[in-house]
Amino acid sequence: MDRLYIVIPAYNEEENIVEVAESWHEIVSKTGQASRLVVIDDGSKDNTYQILLKLQKQLPQLIPVTKENSGHGGTVLYGYNYALKEKADYVFQTDSDGQTIPEEFWQLWNKRGQFDIQIGYRKNRQDGFSRVLVTKTLRLVLFLIFRLWITDANTPFRLMAAAPLGEYLTKIPDDYNLSNVLLTILYEKDKRAIRYVPITFRPRQGGVNSINLKKITKIGWQAVKDFRSLKKLI
């Protein structure tokens, strides 16, 4: 039976983490006893990690992990490497804000053997115009730099087979902020077996988003510089 590791980064998510962990643990448990839900506390300043430790008593396949803050991209990379070291066959990543719907996972899992990566692109978005604009801008930037028209390069809803993921992780700088974007580019450039599936994307279910428009703009400018330099390496 295929061993699934679901990786969820979490930062100051004490309002969401119980519901998110419980709902995704239910998914993990249905894929087999060897599968795991790995929730990585990225140096939260609230009680996210303490809540996870308590939840572990009732969710046997939950693995709470905590580390120093490195941002979303670095935490995702940490989770991917953790899953591969534990001999996961497939790695799935989503976020801890409750915006994705666990039941939509099955449309990816049921076709896992046919693709190297499956990405849920955010078709039914309810997270605000500014976020949609960021995605559209990123799509244009990637086309101008890499000549790739990617449906949704940074979506937090992706299922990846272990072998190609391990290959590509060696090409990504440590703690790289847009690691999921870079991974998508690598899969696309090598013309791997990729499938894009429409998913629902709800408003944040609680708490405050740690990334505002000012931070997004700063990250965006840095990303353009990084993409230009990385283009020579990939």
Q: What is the pLDDT of residues 156-209, one digit of tens each?
A: 999 999 999 999 999 998 888 889 999 999 999 999 999 999 999 887 655 555
Element (H, E) at 167: helix 162-169
C-alpha dist (Å) from residue 187 to 40, 47, 166, 234: 25, 37, 12, 11
- Domain of 133 in residue numbering reads as 4-230
- Check residue 87 and give left, alpha or beta (phi > 0: left; psi -120 to 50: alpha): left
Average pLDDT over residues 70-88: 97
pLDDT of residue 212 exceeding 60: no
Q: What is the pTM of this model?
A: 0.89
CA atoms of 234 and 228, how far apart (whole Å):
11
CATH code of 192's domain: 3.90.550.10
Count of domains in the chain?
1
What pLDDT is recorded for position 59?
A: 98
